[in-house]
Amino acid sequence: MEAFDNITGNFTDELVEPEVPPYDRIFLELFTLVAFLSATANTLLIFTIIKYKKLRENATNVIFLHVNISQAGFLLSTPLIFRTFLYFFDKSVHLTVFCAFYQLTACVGSAIAGFLFLLICDSYLKIYHKEKYRKFCRILKYFIIAIYVLTILTSSVTLHMEDIDNITGNFTDELVEPEVPPYERIFLELFTVVALLSLAANSLLIFVIVKYKKLRKDATNVIFLHVNILQAVFLVSAPLTWRTSMYFFFKSPVHFTVFCALYQIEACVGSAIIGFLFLLICDSYLKIYYKEKYRKFCRIYKFLQIAIYFLMLCTCSITINVCFSRYMFAFAYIFIFFAICIVIAVLIIIDVIHVFRKRKLTNYKDSNIGLVVSNFFFLFWMPCILFFVSCTRGQTCEPIALILLFVLGFASPIFNLVYVFCCDNYFNVFLKQVFTCRCKEYKNEDLEDQSVVYSDSNGVQINSN
């Protein structure tokens, strides 16, 4: 694994790492460690409340859930504020980064204060005013939505404010916005819109699988859940990578570091997606043809998932750390390229075997999430991968063509949502519950072994046969 210096661009060496006293570094690392441990505690509480419906039936726990979500956001942004302030707070672009983190932290802190106020009111009414507490529980969700809306609106307003002349400091304005052709802006916005639509599709699938225990009983759906989670992260990072590459990639070492970090996150998450798709392929094949091996696979697939996440985090931490030294590792994308080649080869072999062997099956179901999702994922992404490989080999690479091909690849989550809705009975039932806002009607989680049917007039019904 070697760093490469052949990246061209107008990088200047005028920005050097500021001299930070050793005790400041020690306290910053201690502060980051405590924030990380606290974020872990928040994550455990969030996971517990979301997973167990009994906890979510209590209004106090619902407010406590949103307090923890807001605190997790606060704990992620605060260490970044101190790092930007200590290490590169000396240019106009640095001011923008620092100001963005600062405003986000302030808005999230305000949201935490709002949720704590709700928590105080909840506890007081619960103890002393039972009748008012019942009314409070009926309107609680609107207060929560109002707090989030106010937080988002305040963040959007403060992040776009231009009148920040009252902030003093030795800032220079030598970095100006590059001239990006109008058609490239149009395609970039199209790319962002498709990414947001696909992110919405991923979010729906994640919500449905997490909410309904019946879906989580199936190992295929659990792996599919993790594919969607990682795709959501990829869909957030990729548009940001493109925007940084178009607007301030060739300007300063700081811009290079930001771009490099986003680029490496995107590559590592992409590699993890390939790993989970490989698990999905193995799951489907063993499920159809090797029942005994599939039972063994179900006992160990959780450890395989943990291994994929562990490798992703280790690789990501190493490659991002190198970015601060103004180098980029090509390892992540080299690894993802070879991983794609291996997985595609395995997928083609399994597809050929499946075409011939499924004719002999008497109880085969056409709804095969693992193989269908994997096949269409690679079909959607193959044009983009081939074009990207041709660009790295010295051929002319048009950004517009690459963005359009990325748009095609990013549409795969939308196809996944349409496919499971149309072809999988359980996903069809539970997605209809979500689309018609009847999520709470399927209350009894002890009915997993009974089949369910959906009717537009009555919602979900449990078959007693």
231-246 tens-digit pLDDT:
998 888 888 877 777 7
| 76-90, 198-212, 370-384, 445-459: least confident range | 445-459
Q: Domain boundary residue among 146, 175, 204?
A: 175
Question: Which pair of structure tokens corresponds to residue 241?
Answer: 């990578």
Answer whether 420's CB lies under 8 Å from 368's CB. no
Share of the chain above pLDDT 90, in %: 9
Mean pLDDT computed over 461-465: 50
Residues 201 and 229 in one domain: yes
Q: Is residue 34 part of a domain?
A: yes
Q: Which residues contact 45 (CB under 8 A, 6 or more apart)?
A: 64, 65, 68
Q: Is residue 441 part of a domain?
A: no
Q: Which residues contact 233 (CB under 8 A, 6 or more apart)?
A: 265, 269
Buried b (16+ CB within 10 A) or exposed e, 211-246: bbebbeebbbbbbbbbbbbbbbbbbbbbbbbbbbeb
Query: Residue 228 has what pLDDT?
Result: 92
The SS3 call for residue 117 is: helix
Query: Residue 448 has what pLDDT?
Result: 44
Q: Is residue 465 part of a domain?
A: no
Residues 213 and 169 in one domain: no
Residues 167 and 191 in one domain: no
The SS3 call for residue 350 is: helix
Answer whether 133's CB lies under 8 Å from 125's CB. yes
Question: Which pair of structure tokens corresponds to residue 84?
Answer: 């930007």
Q: Which residue has the higher pLDDT, 294 or 189?
A: 294
Confidence of residue 252 (pLDDT cuts 50, 70, 90): low
Q: Is residue 321 part of a domain?
A: yes
The span from the CA of 262 to the CA of 239, in Å, is: 10
Distances from the Cα of 29 to the Cαs of 16, 38, 83, 206, in angstroms? 21, 14, 10, 34
The span from the CA of 204 to the CA of 194, in Å, is: 15
Confidence of residue 332 (pLDDT cuts 50, 70, 90): low
Residues 23 and 123 in one domain: yes
Query: Residue 91 has what pLDDT?
Result: 55
Confidence of residue 4 (pLDDT cuts 50, 70, 90): very low
pLDDT digits (tens, 9 = 90+) for 95-141: 677 777 788 888 888 899 999 999 999 998 989 888 889 889 988 88
- Domain with 367, as residue range(s), is 182-423
Residues 125 and 272 in one domain: no
pLDDT digits (tens, 9 = 90+) for 253-309: 667 777 778 888 888 888 899 889 999 988 888 888 888 888 898 888 889 999 999
Q: Which residue has the higher pLDDT, 449 or 225?
A: 225
Q: Which residues contact 316 (CB under 8 A, 6 or more apart)?
A: 264, 265, 268, 269
Residues 288 and 380 in one domain: yes
**Residue 152 half-sphere exposure toward CB, CA atoms < 13 A:** 6
The single residue listed with the structure tokens 């919500």 is 207
Give me the count of residues in the chain: 465
Question: Domain containing 385 — which CATH number?
Answer: 1.20.1070.10
Residues 66 and 195 in one domain: no
DSSP state of 326: T
Residues 162 and 212 in one domain: no
Answer whether 101's CB lies under 8 Å from 95's CB. no
Q: Is residue 445 part of a domain?
A: no
Residue 154 one-letter amino acid: T
Question: Which pair of structure tokens corresponds to residue 452?
Answer: 């369910």
Mean pLDDT computed over 145-167: 70
The span from the CA of 240 to the CA of 228, in Å, is: 19
Give DSSP secondary structure letters for 132-154. HHHHHHHHHHHHHHHHHHHHHHH
Q: Which residues contact 266 (CB under 8 A, 6 or more apart)?
A: 234, 237, 238, 241
Give DSSP secondary structure letters for 194-217. HHHHHHHHHHHHHHHHHH-HHHHT
Residues 68 and 203 in one domain: no
The span from the CA of 281 to the CA of 223, in Å, is: 10
Residues 266 and 383 in one domain: yes
Which residues, in sequence order, are bridge partners of residue 376? none
Domain count, the chain: 2
326 φ/ψ angles, rounded to the nearest 5 degrees: 65, 35
Residue 422 has pLDDT above 80, yes or no: yes
Q: Is residue 431 part of a domain?
A: no
Confidence of residue 465 (pLDDT cuts 50, 70, 90): very low
Q: Is residue 212 part of a domain?
A: yes
Residues 156 and 207 in one domain: no
Residues 167 and 194 in one domain: no
What mean pLDDT is reported for the chain? 77
Q: Which residues contact 227 (CB under 8 A, 6 or more apart)?
A: 273, 276, 277, 280, 373
Q: Is residue 454 part of a domain?
A: no
Q: Domain boundary residue among 175, 195, 220?
A: 175
